[in-house]
Amino acid sequence: MRPKRVVFLMSDTGAGHRAAASAIRAGLQERYPGEYLCELVDVPRRYTPFPFKYLPELYPRWVNRARRSWGLSFRLTDAPDRSRLVMDVLNHLWGRGLRRMLAEHPGDVFVCVHALFSYPTMRALRAQPGPRPPFVTVVTDLVTTHAWWFEPEVDRCLVPTPDAYARGLVYGLSPAQLRLTGPLVHPRFLNGLPGKDEARRMLGLHPRLPAVVLVGGGEGMGPVYRIARALNARRLDMQFVVVAGRNRALRRRLEKVPWCQPTLITSFVHTMPELMAAADILVTKAGPATIGEACAVGLPVVLSGAVPGQEEGNVAFVLRHQLGAYAPGPAAVADTVAAWLAEGAPGLARRAAAVRQFGPLDAVWAIAAEIHQQATRIS
């Protein structure tokens, strides 16, 4: 029997959507080896017209340079009537490209991990002759989930939190369509992570100095440079790792800084599970993927900021579950990290233990099982 084709609809607007698709693909491959061929399709890049094809470049610039207008656009469109109006416009503009996408990437199951693509893709699928393949939406935002996530014609909508489940009901999905899975984490964060000592040895870090890791997402978004300088100015008793992501200009700036503690500057890394396992404190914006990964390894987080709209609820999520602190801005981050380090090893261990209480983080297996169920019902 031939492997079934699972087509993931995503976009490199930030690293979180690709990370979600990659995590689910890994879960399918581990639980159902040889049964699925998975394709990750960057929808706007390949199948939408100008200017939408440049969304991966436009998104970080908009969020970094015009945060208020981004937040305003999120709130204005996050309502049933207004969201549907925007989707109707996008469906008109994208329809031809999405029909071409379906011809080039036929699937036995479609899995959408981006809020913009469920509605227009469902219309393109509906226009095709013959039975429609199953369609699953996996919501990656934790709490403040936009109305665009909740397309009422999908077969299943898998959500990470009770807040997202409640919003799905408000936006017209039925309990039979919704399933609460918990936050999605890649299997690499769940299977056989090294202990802290071994992770530090693997990464060449000091075995005893407290380790602080600063990340700004895959694109190095937010005031990473200013946060790094603020922490450096405190001359704290720590070692420091700054992940600049794909932002090469940021990395060059960071490499010119005269650091006051052992410091490693790195670009986008494929060893994030080991890096988090080696760390004592993670400084990050409130991205859902990074928060989930930190939970999986028991790493307390200092949230340096949040994208207006979709990430605002993540701050409340972290505080509610005692996963860390919210410290918007470089000075507040430096104050918080200094205070945590002043608590010494017992304080850091206590915070890590509190994070480990959150769970279970087995959403990837539940999502893989849902996709498998959808695929087998068409056999």
List pLDDT tens digits, range 228-270.
999 999 999 999 999 988 788 899 999 999 999 999 999 877 8
- What's the number of CA atoms in the CB half-sphere (13 Å) around residue 367? 37
Q: Which positions of the chain have pLDDT values less than 50?
A: none
Domain 4-187+361-376 has CATH 3.40.50.2000: yes
Q: What pTM does this model have?
A: 0.93
pLDDT of amino acid 378: 59
pLDDT of amino acid 268: 72
Cis peptide before 80 (omega within 30 of 0): no
Domain 191-356 in the same topology as domain 4-187+361-376? yes
Let me know: does 216 contact 245? Beta carbons within 8 Å. Answer: yes
pLDDT of amino acid 228: 97
pLDDT of amino acid 170: 94
CA–CA gap between residue 255 and residue 265 (Å, rounded): 7
**How far is the first Cα of the chain from the last one, in angstroms, to the nearest whole number?**
10
How would DSSP label each residue in 110-176?
EEE-STTTHHHHHHHHHTSSSPPPPEEEE---SSS--GGG--TT-SEEEESSHHHHHHHHHTT--TT
What is the average pLDDT value for the chain, to the nearest integer? Answer: 93
The fold of 191-356 is Rossmann fold (3.40.50)
Domain ranges of the chain: 4-187+361-376, 191-356
pLDDT of amino acid 258: 97
pLDDT of amino acid 57: 85
The tens digit of pLDDT for each residue in 293-340 reads: 999 999 999 999 999 999 999 999 999 999 999 999 999 999 999 999
Mark 26-38 as b/e (b = at least 16 C-beta within 10 Å). Answer: bbbbebbeebbbb
Which residues lie below 8 Å from residue 177, measured CB to CB, with a gap of 6+?
152, 154, 155, 156, 157, 168
